[in-house]
Structure 1
Amino acid sequence: MNRIEELFNRKSQRVLNVYFTAGYPTLNDTVGIMESLEATGADLIEIGIPFSDPIADGPTIQESNGIALDNGMTLKLLLEQLEGVRHKFGLPIILMGYINPIVQYGIEAFCQKCQEVGVDGLILPDLPMFEYLEVYKPLFEKHGLLNIFLITPQTSESRIREIDQNSNGFIYMVSSASTTGAKTGISQDQEAYFSRIKEMNLKNPTLIGFGISNKETFDKACENANGAIIGSAFIKAISQEGVIANNINEFIQSIKG
């Protein structure tokens, strides 16, 4: 069984998925950040593949992408950094990125390498479902990779049902029709959306992302989903002065309470 599925089999509440950009703040921070997140109580690790035009992301993550690219991070180098990580790291690993760098790397070679290094799932916001089903699904399944789809407040019920039917692992609930980034709180409209999805009784677990930045928003998201995804606020935390491992510990503890 895939490690993402194993996670949700044993834990159905307050699942914490943390996103960071590979190669940020410095080129070789990737594995150290992963180890610190596991040590401090994260449940899922989502590693961003730096891209020059990250259309789904807000200013903080866009900036981290630019710095990571300037540092020399590439998809090839990220996969090399992950070699051997499974000897000392147990959490599920998701790679989040855009389809263009993966096509340039080679789809078959990418999937095979992901399997070799222990990647469990992929989030590819610009991969259309029909293309996934027709082209990518057999390759992903062959190499044990779960494809995580996103839904938004504007996604129709029929579309959500279709996504649920063709998903494994979890569904990424985008909290609002905007790019990523820390927000001040959860609005009534967002709460109504969360509640609506919860009442659909989907077969897959759900994690809420975009705008989850502190204990208050994490707790609110967990009332209506199996957990939440934190990205921009974490990027800001590891950008601070001081020892990264200490900053990570302080941030995660502030979220989990």
Structure 2
Amino acid sequence: MNQIHNLFKKKNKNILCIYFTAGFPYINSTEKIIKILQNLPVDLIEIGIPYSDPLADGMVIQESNRISLKNGMNIHLLFNQIEKIKEKIITPIILMGYYNQFYQFGETNFLKKCKEIGISGLILPDLPVHIFSHKYKNIFEKHSLSMIFLITPKTNSKRIIMLSKMSNGFLYIASSNSTTGNTTIENENFFGDKQISFFERIKKLNINIPKLIGIGIKDKNTFDLSCQYANGGIIGSSFIQSLNKNKLKESIEKYIKSIR
């Protein structure tokens, strides 16, 4: 049982997950952001591994990826940074990356390293579920790592149930078919009739695994709404925009205080 399972065993509602890109706003900020978030009412930390072609991400996260790569961040450096503080990690950490990064590093070595440094789970949005099922599921289980799958409003109910059973930890509900950070769809509050209808449809399905809503969570109102339809919400682009590299601690504390 990893830290994600322990979290949901102790707490199953109002879960706040914060996403940020490793190496942004500066190369050594990752360790500092983790330490700051752990001292705030944040339940999960999702760290994006910078990638040159982050197709699942919107403009804000794409730009943070560009800056992070320019700063010199890479997977090996990220692993080294987290390893330095692994004994002090008390909040479950998830890595979000892409299948090519996972494959190029060496799948077994990647998972082994994740376990060694205290990572609890992975999100690889472009990893096909059938490949995961046949090639990687047993290796993930061997290393006590959760694999988290995403669903969107276009995902049919049968597939949602299948992905909920394949996910380990929680199911990521992408509130829109759009990329992250796109707040122009529907209205300025993002959650329109289409999103609410999608959330209602999921609530009617027989899904036993915890669920977190991501994409469009940007303030207290949208976070509170996500908690009405799921176990909590994931905030990424809005948090990244709030980071002040010159006043990192103060900007993070101010942002989290505005959410809860």
179-188 or 17-26, which deviates more: 179-188
Partner residue in 1 for 2:236? 231
Structure 1 residue 182: deviation in Å? 5.3
After superposition, residues 172-251 of structure 1 pair within 5 angstroms as 172-181=172-181, 183=183, 184-185=188-189, 186-238=191-243, 240=244, 242-251=246-255
Counterpart CA distance in 1 for 2:172 and 2:111 is: 21
Partner residue in 1 for 2:22? 22
Structure 1 residue 241: deviation in Å? 5.8
Change over 3 Å in CA distance of 1:165–1:221 after alignment to 2: same
Structure 1 residue 84: deviation in Å? 3.5
Partner residue in 2 for 1:143? 143
Structure 1 residue 37: deviation in Å? 0.8
> Where does the alignment leave 5 or more consecutive residues of structure 1 unmatched?
none
State whether residues 181 and 211 of structure 1, in contact with CA within 8 Å, keep that contact through their aligned partners in structure 2. yes
- TM-score, scaled relative to structure 2: 0.96
Counterpart CA distance in 2 for 1:143 and 1:84 is: 20
102-111 or 23-32, which deviates more: 102-111
State whether residues 4 and 120 of structure 1, in contact with CA within 8 Å, keep that contact through their aligned partners in structure 2. yes
Q: Does 1:69 align with 2:73?
A: no
Q: Secondary structure at the match of 2:39?
A: helix
Q: Secondary structure at the match of 1:103?
A: helix
Report how many residues are paired: 255
2:62 maps to a residue whose letter is: Q
Structure 1 residue 38: deviation in Å? 1.1
Change over 3 Å in CA distance of 1:241–1:91 after alignment to 2: closer
193-202 or 128-137, which deviates more: 193-202
After superposition, residues 145-160 of structure 1 pair within 5 angstroms as 145-160=145-160
Counterpart CA distance in 2 for 1:182 and 1:85 is: 33
Change over 3 Å in CA distance of 1:115–1:253 after alignment to 2: same
1:41 maps to a residue whose letter is: P
Structure 1 residue 108: deviation in Å? 1.1
1:145 maps to a residue whose letter is: L
Q: Secondary structure at the match of 2:34?
A: helix
1:125 maps to a residue whose letter is: P
> Where does the alignment leave 5 or more consecutive residues of structure 2 unmatched?
none
Q: Secondary structure at the match of 2:95?
A: strand
Counterpart CA distance in 2 for 1:92 and 1:39 is: 13
Identical-residue share of aligned pairs (%): 49
1:26 maps to a residue whose letter is: Y
After superposition, residues 45-64 of structure 1 pair within 5 angstroms as 45-64=45-64
- TM-score, scaled relative to structure 1: 0.97
Which ranges of 4 or more aligned residues in structure 1 deviate by more than 2 Å? none
Q: Secondary structure at the match of 2:176?
A: coil
State whether residues 210 and 230 of structure 2, in contact with CA within 8 Å, keep that contact through their aligned partners in structure 1. yes
2:133 maps to a residue whose letter is: L
Q: Does 1:254 align with 2:258?
A: yes
State whether residues 82 and 117 of structure 1, in contact with CA within 8 Å, keep that contact through their aligned partners in structure 2. yes
Structure 1 residue 189: deviation in Å? 1.4
